[in-house]
Amino acid sequence: MRLRKTVQRTPIVLVVDDTPANLTLMRNILEPQSYKVLLATSGEKALELLTKVTPDLIMLDIMMPGIDGFETLTRLKKIPSAKDIPVIFVTAKTAVSDIVRGFELGAVDYITKPIQRLEALARTKVHLKIQHLIHIERIQSEQIKAIINNISDCVLVSNKNGAIESVNPATEHLFGYCENILCHKNIAELLDYQGRPTDFIDVLLNHDSGDAWWQHPNGKNVKGKTFPIEINVREMYTHDPCFVIVIQDISLHRHEIDQLHHLTETDPLTNINNRRHFEILFAQSWQHCKRSNQMISVLFLDVDHFKSFNDDYGHQAGDSCLQAIATALFTSLSRGVDSVSRYGGEEFVAILPDTDNAGARKVAQIMLEAIEQLNIPHKHSKYGHITISIGVATCDYDADHTRIKSAKALLKLADKALYDAKAMGRNRVEHL
Ligand SMILES: [Mg+2]
């Protein structure tokens, strides 16, 4: 990411010296270089000037009447707006103890008198450059901090054990803890994860390692409420290993996906599975039963004389009839693994995994009776009400795989059994 560029203004240099000739000399050296030069003839005047302007560099004479350069430097470091301005002291003193004292008081460099033009210029340029770089770094660091503090994603920094070291306000908001408490927690405590916290960064970094948690990662807030998240972890290569963890609450996104799934899987009229979803479920159930050597049964169901029902009672009544039938078929199933889907028109299909033919016929009989009990009048039925016919087929893969080679073949058998049920008078169950 490229951050906003900072505007570079003309550098201001403040020269402090009690000798006017030295001030003139420094101005003649610096002004041709496009620096703005401010002059002060004493420490006191320099300190007064610093309450009004903030130069980028100060050249400070040591030997001055009144307060000397060392004292001026000491007082200058106590002015908040001036304490970070680099100071080069200018001295005729060349004793090591004086030079050391200048550095100890916070000066960044020194030049000796008599002033050499090229040396003064070179040192000025170097320290203005350093000051400019520090300024850019500070602005960029403030910009990054502002971005992290204002983004809606949670940004956390942890050590290699997952102990949280810093967080942004979005993290406090999402998890409901204040920063102080978060910084005494392990990242694993914010996630709905059962493993050992000490391994957690490894789990986060190696999310393709097959850990089941990654299929649907969840966060956990202060109230223990869990919510779906997306989580990314990157190692930061600093002097101590640390990790940047970005967490995004995807509750809304997950809800939209769930709604979309529901729409693509559900028949809008009857609110049970549609044919498309049946095809997927049937293929999955077939593969599962084949792998685990279980039997699988399928029921093909058709509403008897439905065309004449529509002709006599109208399509609205036909729709209501199909809705009532779908609900009755659905409530006839007692196990979560069983399913019933609208196959098309007035045809329905049920999948019963791990169920033998006798068990499937029992379920079919319950469905037949459930439809009878609806007691929907139908004057063209010899029973006087709506009925259904059901064909049952079962596959025991080990025994039947030469006869029933695919899920499609099993469905075809159930369809054939349904044909038999129709041929034998309807309102009955036939099996193959
Ligand atoms: Mg002097």
Say if CB 393 and CB 414 are below 8 A apart: yes
Contact 171, 165 (CB under 8 A): no
170 pLDDT more than 60 = yes
> Which amino acid, one-letter code, is at 18?
D
How remote is the C-alpha of 51 from its chain's centroid? 48
Fold of 154-253: Beta-Lactamase (3.30.450)
Position 198 scores a pLDDT of 62
Give 19 Cα–ligand 1 centroid separation in angstroms: 6
Give the pair of three-digit tokens for residue 265: 């899987």
Query: Considering only CA atoms, which of 9, 97, 26 is closest in space to residue 60?
Result: 26
Q: Looking at the DSSP assignment, which residues form a beta bridge with residue 112?
A: 91
Residue pLDDT, tens place only, 188-207: 889 887 766 566 677 677 76
Interval between CA 105 and ligand 1 midpoint (Å): 19
* pLDDT tens figures, 269-288: 999 999 999 999 999 999 99
Q: Residue 17 C-alpha to ligand 1 middle, in angstroms?
A: 6
What distance in angstroms lies between residue 242's CA and the mean position of ligand 1's atoms?
Answer: 52
Comparing 147 with 240, the larger pLDDT belongs to 147
Residue 248 near residue 234 (C-beta atoms within 8 A): no
**Interior CA angle at 321 toward 319 and 322, to 5°?**
65
Q: Indicate whether 426 pLDDT > 90.
A: yes
pLDDT band at residue 5, thresholds of 50, 70 and 90?
low
DSSP string, 329-359: HHHH--STT-EEEEEETTEEEEEEET--HHH
Per residue in 207-234, pLDDT tens? 655 666 677 889 999 999 999 999 988 8
128 CA distance to ligand 1 centroid (A)?
24
Structural domain boundaries of the chain? 12-148, 154-253, 266-431
User: Residue 203 Cα, ligand 1 centroid: separation in angstroms?
Assistant: 67
Residue 154's pLDDT is 96
CA 208 to chain centre: 17
Single-letter code of the amino acid located at 272: I
Thinking of the domain 266-431, which architecture would CATH place it in?
Answer: 2-Layer Sandwich (3.30)
**Distance between Cα 24 and ligand 1 center (Å):** 13
CA of 92 relative to ligand 1 center, distance in Å: 8
pLDDT of residue 420: 96
What is the structure's pLDDT at 208? 57
31, 179, 235, 346: which is the annotated catalytic residue?
346
| Percent of residues, the chain, with pLDDT higher than 90 | 76
Say how many Å lie between the CA of residue 81 and the centre of ligand 1.
25
pLDDT tens digits for range 285-321: 999 988 888 899 999 999 999 999 999 999 999 999 9
Task: Categorize the per-residue pLDDT at 393 as very low, low, confident or very high, splitting at 50, 70 and 90.
Answer: very high
Of residues 48, 218, 230, 235, the one with CA closest to residue 159: 235
- Token digits for 68? 């000397």
CA of 51 to the centre of ligand 1 (A): 23
Tell me the residue type at 51: T
Distance 98 CA to ligand 1 centre (A): 15
The CATH topology of domain 12-148 is Rossmann fold (3.40.50)
Q: How many CA atoms lie within 13 A of 14 on its CB side?
A: 25
- CA-based angle 337:290:347, to the nearest 5? 50
How many beta carbons lie within 10 A of that of residue 215, not counting itself?
7
Q: How many residues does the chain have?
A: 432
At a CB cut-off of 8 Å and minimum separation 6, what does 314 contact?
none
pLDDT digits (tens, 9 = 90+) for 53-101: 999 999 999 999 999 999 999 999 999 999 999 999 998 877 888 899 9
Q: Report percent pLDDT > 70 for the chain.
A: 95
Mean pLDDT of the chain: 91
On the question of a cis peptide bond just before residue 80, with omega within 30 degrees of 0, the verdict is no
User: How many Å lie between the centroid of ligand 1 and the Cα of residue 195?
Assistant: 72
- If one counts every other C-beta atom within 10 angstroms of the C-beta of residue 267, the result is 21
- pLDDT number for residue 17: 96
- Tell me which of 15-29, 112-126, 234-248, 376-390 is least confident: 234-248
Distance 90 CA to ligand 1 centre (A): 9
31 is catalytic: no
Encoded amino acid at 99, one letter: I
Write out pLDDT tens, residues 107-151.
999 999 999 999 999 999 999 999 999 989 999 999 989 999 999
Tell me how far apart the alpha carbons of residues 300 and 289 are, in angstroms, rounded to a whole number. 19
